[in-house]
Amino acid sequence: MQGSSASSLSAQQLFLLSIILSLLKFGFTQDGFCSAPSSIIKPESNSQPLYWKVTNPTLSPSHLQDLPGFTRSVYKRDHALITPESHVFSPLPDWTNTLGAYLISPAAGAHFVMYLAKMQENSRSRLPPRDVERFIFVVQGTVTLTNVSGVSHKLIVDSYAYLPSNLEHSVKCDASATLVVFERRHAYLENYIPDQIVSSTDKQPVLETPGEVFELRKLLPASMPFDFNIHIMDFQPGEFLNVKEVHYNQHGLLLLEGQGIYRLGDSWYPVQGGDAIWMAPFVPQWYGALGKTRTRYLLYKDVNRNPL
Ligand SMILES: *[C@@H]1O[C@H](CO)[C@@H](O)[C@H](O)[C@H]1NC(C)=O
């Protein structure tokens, strides 16, 4: 009897075991053994506003968020990667109700500054120093630009303005807005005076890039009065720079959206929307776009002047 009860128990156990196994099997076929937790590879949602990632960045992968001292930022002699968890904001000198984070400056070896300006309620810009030209690009919110002639422009996300040196102007914001700003001492050429420019990315034509697959737009005229330009470069996932560039120009870059690998010198950096990069002259540079969405970045480049 003991024997038969023991065998009926083991039959029950077998039955239970088979249920557990089938449940497990169901679980595995749903998720697969090798699938990562869904929180790690969440595709970027398309329902977010344009360039949302710049002001709402992923500070670090979810499994590293609580690791003290962890950052992807790097600062080297000829390049820097400045990721959002390293951005330090403080009141911008002279501006009203505006916090700024200088990401690139002459202290890093650059001849320009690149900073993020977070304009709050009733905020207002001030003029750059004498002989310094300014470029502003809106990544979040709306601002109003007014110049000495009293003409105003409303600038929304993806629109921008170039303000020649010594042109009186102000940028005002009623609610909240984030700008990326570039400034440098204008390298004057006799008889070439740049005009104020106000426009938006989508109004600029896609230009030919022989030998390359990315889409290029230039936000400023390529003519001699301008000593720098701002490029908007778009890569579909899998596209990459053909030329492994080394050149005399310097760059300030803000990744507006997407993910990929940036090569700078001998280092290879995973990067994503919200990251900023400083490239000194002659640093070897290359980008490959990865992920599921387009990469778009904005790039400062000095042009049109003899390097001597
Ligand atoms: C002020 O802005 C208007 C409109 O963009 C422009 O036509 C005008 O030339 C600007 N004034 C100066 C002094 O640049």
pTM of the predicted model over 0.75: yes
Q: 85-111, pLDDT tens digit by residue?
A: 999 999 998 999 999 999 999 999 999
Q: Would you give the distance in Å from CA 37 to the centre of its chain?
A: 26
Residue 248 has pLDDT above 70, yes or no: yes
- Cα 216 to ligand 1 centre (Å): 27
Ligand 1 pocket (Cβ < 6 Å) reads 147-149, 151, 167, 196, 198
> What is the pLDDT averaged over residues 21-50?
52
Q: For residue 162, is it within any domain?
A: yes
Q: Which of 127, 144, 147, 165 to mutate to test the pocket of ligand 1 (most atoms within 8 A of CB)?
A: 147
Q: For residue 7, is it within any domain?
A: no
Tokens 């002639």 locate to 149
Q: For residue 31, is it within any domain?
A: no
| Residue 196: domain span | 38-59+68-302
- Cα 160 to ligand 1 centre (Å): 14
Residue 46: predicted pLDDT: 64
Count: domains in the chain: 1
Q: For residue 12, is it within any domain?
A: no
Share of the chain above pLDDT 90, in %: 79
Q: 150-163, pLDDT tens digit by residue?
A: 999 999 999 999 99
Domain CATH code at residue 220 = 2.60.120.10
Per the DSSP assignment, residues forming a β-bridge with 269 are 262
Residue 45: predicted pLDDT: 56
Share of the chain above pLDDT 70, in %: 85
Q: 250-298, pLDDT tens digit by residue?
A: 999 999 999 999 999 999 999 999 999 999 999 999 999 999 999 999 9
CB 172 within 8 A of CB 138: no
Q: For residue 126, is it within any domain?
A: yes
- Cα 149 to ligand 1 centre (Å): 6
Mean pLDDT of the chain: 89
Residue 27: predicted pLDDT: 41
Residue 3 has pLDDT above 50, yes or no: no
